[in-house]
A and B are shown apart, each in its own frame.
Chain A
Amino acid sequence: MLKFLKQIGDYAKETVQSARYIGQGLAVTFDHMQRRPVTVQYPYEKLIPSERFRGRIHFEFDKCISCEVCVRVCPINLPVVDWEFDKANKKKKLKHYSIDFGVCIFCGNCVEYCPTNCLSMTEEYELSAYDRHELNYDNVALGRLPYKVTDDPMVTPLRELAYLPKGVTDPHDLPSGSRRAGQRPEEIVEQSSGS
């Protein structure tokens, strides 16, 4: 009989405990309702891509020496380098250059290894098209400068988490002049050149 009562008591205790846990959970959910939404409302608000963002690749036609290093370091040999040997100058002459961004994985190896720095990463990420072949950029398309979020009057640019002041997680309604935690790159450069 006593054992049975003890069982009932334990069961009741467990029940109360779990009810309290559910109550705690409800409090957490309720607390979340007062927080500001973290949503970035995309076409109207856009995040500013970070400095190291690996977006669409920019290509400078005149700098290229047609060495094809970009092709060799590419995991799938994606860049198409169309060149011809110019016998008069004894130099390779680049005719066409293209990268298909529908296939590119934006690993950045080509940018890393390009001996003349004619390849560079941009902050452009809105690569959508109705036909995947439209993403096959030729040297003209690759040479276009990226579109900047901060220059667009229709878009509210928002900072990414790493660029917010210490302890702030919401990019909305930041006071003007608020700076990110830590030193800015130019400050680090200044410091190291000064010492």
Chain B
Amino acid sequence: MNSGIDLQETFIDSLMGLGIPPGAAKAIWMPLPMFLIIIGATVGVLVVVWLERKISAAAQQRIGPEFAGPLGVLQAVADGIKLVFKEDIVPAKSDSILFTLGPVIVVIPVFLSFLVVPFGQNLVITDLNIGIFLWIALSSIAPIGLLMSGYASNNKYSLLGGLRAAAQSISYELPLALAVLAIAMMSNSLSTIDIVEQQSGYGILGWNVWRQPAGFLIFWISALAECERLPFDLPEAEEELVAGYQTEYSGMKFGLFYIGSYVNLILSSLLFAILYLGGWESPIPIELLGNLLGADETSPWLQVIDAALGITMTGLKAYFLIFLAILLRWTVPRVRIDQLLNLGWKFLLPVGLVNLLLTAGLKLAFPVAFGG
């Protein structure tokens, strides 16, 4: 199997060529992709905030941000700078340590989860063999931070919001994990790379959406609930709880929550793209195009195009899903807390279990199509 471009190896080799020992060369390489991902995620947040505001505006026949930069693309930057310079208020009689720790605990796991998001065969920070499991594990840390900040704010709305966030995250983690489990069963691996590779080869027809029609719906609903986006934004329901656990936050601590929620949305969309929409694979297999053009699979230009296409494809799929999430936001009303828990425990969980069972049965019956 052709593995495409290996930037790490090339980089280390070139450094060793300059006379740097292999260990040091590797140490120099290591922070690069991390910084790249952090910067990528942050820029992604700006893009998503802009998209959210513009698409929301379009859906409501408004114009949206327009004057900060061309078409208002710098509006999010302006908002961010404002948040940085804002006074950082810690409310009276609050638990200041927990209050500060809360947003940190919410944000760090989200960024950490980018470790396992692949943008290409080798364009991933670490190819862990427990990749997708790492994401699920990390995503269950966030509610602790939410609960912490809700409790530490010394505010009834914050506490209620934190409790709701915890209840919601815990309830929807199970269907999410069940949906992912079915995927993992089909690809015989938890590694995100293996999951994408198992979908490759047949273009759009090979994607997991067709094999997991129920699974992808469960995953999407649960992912929306995990990201606390409408229709599941109960923890910060403005009309009921002011802003939920964010009520007492201002300045950059609020900014962290804000960034965290949007990065989480990007992450969920990316993982949805990886799990169900074939990750970096294009709808028409690239090998087919290469063969049509008569190009060698190992030729450098094809590999560069392949890598660029992979990143573009992953981004496109993720942004399509974000678009869908924004559209859903203005279509569906917020559910009540009892409806939310009903949906999670009485609908998604059993359906997820049935889906898992069916996948297992189909895997035994048709090992060709369902990854025997």
CB within 8 Å of B: which residues of A? 15, 22, 25-26, 28-30, 32-33, 35-39, 41
Contact = CB atoms under 8 A, between A and B. Distances in A.
Contacts of A35: 61
A22 B330 CA distance: 11
Interface string B327-369: 1101110000000000000010000000000000000000000
Nearest to B328: A26
B2 interface: no
Contact of B58 (A22, A26, A32, A41): A32
A134 B220 CA distance: 57
A111 B199 CA distance: 77
Contacts of B59: 29, 32-33
A25 B332 contact: yes
Nearest to A31: B59
A35 B353 CA distance: 43
Contacts of B58: 32-33, 37
B57 interface: yes
B37 to A, nearest CB: 31
B352 to A, nearest CB: 14
A22 B63 contact: no
10 smallest beta-carbon distances between A and B, as pairs: A25-B331, A33-B58, A29-B331, A37-B63, A39-B63, A26-B331, A29-B59, A38-B61, A37-B61, A29-B330
A29 B327 CA distance: 7
Nearest to A24: B331
A41 B62 CA distance: 10
A37 B57 contact: yes
A28 B62 CA distance: 16
Given A38-B61, A39-B63, A41-B63, A33 B55 contact: yes
B60 interface: yes
Contacts of B327: 26, 29-30
A22 B328 CA distance: 9
In this complex, which of A32, A33, A36, A38 has the most chain B Cβ atoms within 10 angstroms of its Cβ? A33
Contacts of A33: 55, 58-59
27 contacts: A15-B347, A22-B332, A25-B331, A25-B332, A26-B328, A26-B331, A28-B331, A29-B59, A29-B327, A29-B330, A29-B331, A30-B327, A32-B58, A32-B59, A32-B60, A32-B61, A33-B55, A33-B58, A33-B59, A37-B57, A37-B58, A37-B62, A37-B63, A38-B62, A39-B61, A39-B63, A41-B63
A32 B328 CA distance: 13
A39 B62 contact: yes
Contacts of A38: 61-62
A36 B61 contact: yes
Contacts of A29: 59, 327, 330-331
B96 to A, nearest CB: 39
Name which of B57, B62, B327, B328 has the most chain A CB atoms within 10 A of its CB. Answer: B327
Nearest to B55: A33
Nearest to A35: B61
Interface in B35-93: 55, 57-63
